Amino acid sequence: MQEVFETLGIGDRNPGTSTGESFFGDPGLAAVASHTPTDGTRIGEVALTRREEYDLVMDRALRAFDVWRMTPAPRRGEIVRQIGSELREFKAPLGRLVSFEMGKILQEGLGEVQEMIDIADFAVGQSRMLYGKTMHSERPHHRMYEQWHPLGPVGVISAFNFPVAVYAWNAMIAAVCGDVVVWKGSEKTPLCSLAVQRIISRVLARHDLPEGIFNLVTGDRQVGEWMAKDERIPLISATGSIPMGRSVAHCVASRLGRTILELGGNNAMVVTEKADLEMTARAAVFGAIGTAGQRCTTIRRLLVQEDVFEEVRDRLLGAYAGLRIGDPLDERTVMGPLIDAEAVEQMQAALLRIKEEGGEVISGGEVLDELGGHFVRPALAVAENEFEIVQEETFAPILYLIPFRTLEEGIAKQNGVRQGLSSAIFSRDVGEIEAFLSHRGSDCGIANVNIGTSGAEIGGAFGGEKETGGGREAGSDAWKAYMRRQTNTINWGEELPLAQGIDFGV
Ligand code: UN1
């Protein structure tokens, strides 16, 4: 890994605050240490952002905003295009770092960097398509249209499980919209944040642009709170747990700021008796154990129609028996470790609760102490949708197998949780599929057919309903959340007619 660290500009003790080319912060004062979940060893430390540094970042961000918002959008897109090129060049080392620091397997680490590249490409195109509508006025010699203006500094709070991609969804779109970005990455993956910041700032340094367009701060809850309370930040986009989102939402709403929240999921796949069961099993395995069950989009509940329940269960038992768990950097591994000891404990506690509530763990769940680090065997459990533990999101590879009788009941169970991020149906029957996608079907932000709940492409709007938070990031028209809409009415005539036909008499 030494070579990767050198290529990405990461040392043992690192600065944690950046306004672009300037990196500052002294790890000697207070720092967050990063550990690889593979064997728990400390791999470096990053200085925490202190309040005065945070305020300096905000000053520079506001000054940069003044210049950046007046930079033509396609020109902003050109900078983002170059960031995409730079990411292509550093895809291999950055993907390795993601894998090493976060614990997801190398293929997924590389996939994450690819997701950054994809959203950069998308944003470049978007920079020429920040379209507003024109309307026909009800008054003669009047014209109406709407235009989209940049919003200001956008605060991005991202989570450990996607330490680089989710930042890029926000940052690349915000940047072409003319916003500047203040990023607080997860304190569990500070080296990934630093590496990305170095890549981006190298691109900016080639241009005559002010510092403060892309900014990095490092810290825990405290720094997140500064951001949430900061009236200089009109929009906070936060990814993480539901309690975290609730507190950010309260804080930002109390100052009437805006949020995009991408919080917990409790995603289900509905498998009917008309499904291709071979495909179902493959999709379920990737969806449940990908990123060791630590995606917001992970399949947590497999709702299976009674007649095929046993067959699906047996196929999964077979697939789970042969899974290769271990070093995420080893190309043969399909599942790496959980992020830390707490995650392992939470998984163990959840497995106990399944039993207490009357469910049965039919495969896996063991802690693999012999591997060192935070490795576990993924678990399969037969459960009921109504179990309290099933209603919660446990960020670990536990897949609940839950039977249902009719499709209507299957859909009701799919919707019968407080979260609403992603969902899927496996069926070859067009009627069943359309029912799942209808207004009475899935209540989630994402509803897939014959693919799992995870692995969304950046081209779609990403986000969910209910306690997932309701925000949308990435593709489609998610860019609109990063801008402010202005309606303009222009009178080019000689008279002053009033709307609604009002005769004011003066
Ligand atoms: C997340 O888990 O926060 O759809 C994001 C997926 C990935 C993104 C997940 N493209 O699984």
Question: What's the average model confidence in pLDDT over 303-315?
Answer: 98
14 pairs with which residues across the strands? 46
State the CB neighbour count (10 A cutoff) for residue 36: 22
Question: What's the average model confidence in pLDDT over 366-392?
Answer: 97
Question: What's the average model confidence in pLDDT over 20-34?
Answer: 95
**Among 479, 419, 411, CA closest to 440:** 411
Question: How far is the centre of ligand 1, averaged over its atoms, from the C-alpha of 295 (Å)?
Answer: 6
Q: What is the pLDDT of residue 247?
A: 97
Q: Give the pLDDT band of residue 127 (cuts 50, 70, 90).
A: very high
Question: How far is the centre of ligand 1, averaged over its atoms, from the C-alpha of 210 (Å)?
Answer: 32
Determine the residue of 102, 105, 169, 297 to mutate for testing ligand 1's pocket, defined as the one with the most ligand atoms within 8 A of the Cβ atom: 297
- The response to whether residue 454 sits with its C-beta less than 6 Å from ligand 1 reads yes
Average pLDDT, the chain: 97
Determine the residue of 104, 114, 162 to mutate for testing ligand 1's pocket, defined as the one with the most ligand atoms within 8 A of the Cβ atom: 162
Q: 């049965």: which residue's tokens?
A: 360
pLDDT tens by residue, 68-94: 999 999 999 999 999 999 999 999 999
pLDDT tens by residue, 428-470: 999 999 999 999 999 999 999 999 999 999 999 999 999 999 9
- The CA distance from 250 to 268, in Å, is 29
Candidates 177, 192, 251, 296; catalytic one: 296
- Between helices 221-229 and 242-254, what is the axis angle to 10°? 30
Which conformational region is residue 212 in: left (phi greater than 0), alpha (psi within -120 to 50 degrees), or beta? left
The answer, yes or no, to whether residue 319 has pLDDT greater than 90, is yes
Candidates 45, 101, 262, 432; catalytic one: 262
- The CA distance from 459 to 473, in Å, is 10
Cβ contacts of residue 363 below 8 Å, gap of 6+? 316, 317, 320, 321, 377, 379, 380
157 pairs with which residues across the strands? 184, 238
Residue nearest to atom 6 of ligand 1 (CA): 455
- The response to whether residue 295 sits with its C-beta less than 6 Å from ligand 1 reads yes
- The response to whether residue 460 sits with its C-beta less than 6 Å from ligand 1 reads no
Asked about 262 being catalytic, the answer comes back as: yes
**Among 301, 331, 290, 298, CA closest to 414:** 301
pLDDT tens by residue, 177-188: 999 999 999 999
Asked about 211 being catalytic, the answer comes back as: no
Q: What is the pLDDT of residue 506?
A: 81
Determine the residue of 289, 462, 473 to mutate for testing ligand 1's pocket, defined as the one with the most ligand atoms within 8 A of the Cβ atom: 462
pLDDT tens by residue, 411-424: 999 999 999 999 99
Q: What is the pLDDT of residue 301?
A: 98
| 462 CA: nearest ligand 1 atom | 4
- The CA distance from 255 to 4, in Å, is 43
Contact 461, 473 (CB under 8 A): yes
Question: How far is the centre of ligand 1, averaged over its atoms, from the C-alpha of 296 (Å)?
Answer: 6
Q: What is the pLDDT of residue 2?
A: 95
- The response to whether residue 239 sits with its C-beta less than 6 Å from ligand 1 reads yes
Question: How far is the centre of ligand 1, averaged over its atoms, from the C-alpha of 454 (Å)?
Answer: 6
Measuring CA to CA, how many Å separate 190 from each of 34, 224, 469?
A: 7, 14, 25
Residue nearest to atom 1 of ligand 1 (CA): 296
The answer, yes or no, to whether residue 56 has pLDDT greater than 90, is yes
Q: What domains are defined for the chain?
A: 2-263+469-486 (3.40.605.10), 267-457 (3.40.309.10)
pTM of the model: 0.97
